[in-house]
Amino acid sequence: MRCWTEPNVRQDVAATFAREFELAGTLTPGDGILHAWLPQPTLLFTQRDARAPGYAQAAAEAAALGYAPVVRVSGGEAVPLDHGTVCVDLLLAGEALALRPSFDALAEAITTAVGHLGLAATVGRVDGAYCPGDYDIAVAGRKFAGLAQRRTQKAIAVHSFVLLEGAGRPRFDVAARIAAALAATTPVQSPDPCPVTSLAEAAGHALRAADLLAAIEAAAEECA
């Protein structure tokens, strides 16, 4: 698959999602693009979240914490993206792959890239993590990425939000606070150890966006 990286500018998330989906609609079956980019601080809500009675309060709390509230078309739960996050997305033609194979293709690319960073990643639900799903990606049982998908007859965009730098617990706490605002409940406290981590935290040393983007480019060649 082709690789497209944007390492130098933090992108508006809603505009980038729209741009990606438009590009995916121009692709032909057999042609895929792996797009790695840096998001502006954003709190991604789902359409279900936006219908919740507590959405206005949750969006206001997100903004107060420095996150732009954005409602995404893909599923899942509310997810914070910050300066330590790298988005890695797979763009495909609408008839290219069925639902699970589309997820599998991006999961393979990410686990391959993480291997280039000296870490062993696994795919599967991480209980206790925020926005849990069958395509959680983890190191040593702690989630650092999750996948979501938007698809129509003409285009597929599989999204992932990779925690590269920083610690997992502050992200868990933000997600718990937002989930509590949506449901008008008390925030859940993180277990110890926290079920969420970053690649740098898991590695025990600094990793930068350039490191992950280079690994993504290598993985794109290997997973073609």
pLDDT tens-digit profile of 22-34?
999 999 988 999 9
Pairwise CA distance, residues 47 & 221, whole Å: 35
Q: Model-level pTM greater than 0.85?
A: yes
Pairwise CA distance, residues 199 & 206, whole Å: 9
| pLDDT at residue 96 in the model | 80
Pairwise CA distance, residues 130 & 33, whole Å: 27
Query: Where do the structural domains in the chain lie, given as residue ranges?
Result: 2-216
Residues paired with 38 in a beta bridge:
10
- Report in angstroms the alpha-carbon separations of 52 from 34, 93, 206: 33, 33, 39
Question: What are phi and psi for residue 169, nearest 5 degrees?
Answer: -60, -45
Identify the band that residue 191 occupies on the pLDDT scale cut at 50, 70 and 90: confident
Edge-to-edge strand list for the sheet holding 68-71: 68-71, 42-45, 79-81
| pLDDT at residue 89 in the model | 98
Computed over every residue of the chain, the mean pLDDT equals: 95
Question: Quick one: how far is CA 137 from the chain centroid?
Answer: 10
> So what CATH class is 2-216?
alpha beta
Pairwise CA distance, residues 56 & 116, whole Å: 42
Number of Cβ within a 10 Å radius of residue 72: 21
Q: Are strands 2-11 and 142-145 parallel, antiparallel or unpaired?
A: unpaired
In the predicted model, is pLDDT for residue 75 greater than 90? no
In the predicted model, is pLDDT for residue 101 greater than 80? yes
pLDDT tens, position by position, 118-161: 999 999 999 999 999 999 999 999 999 999 999 999 999 999 99
| Single-letter residue type at 144 | F
Residue 117 · residue 102 · CB < 8 Å: no
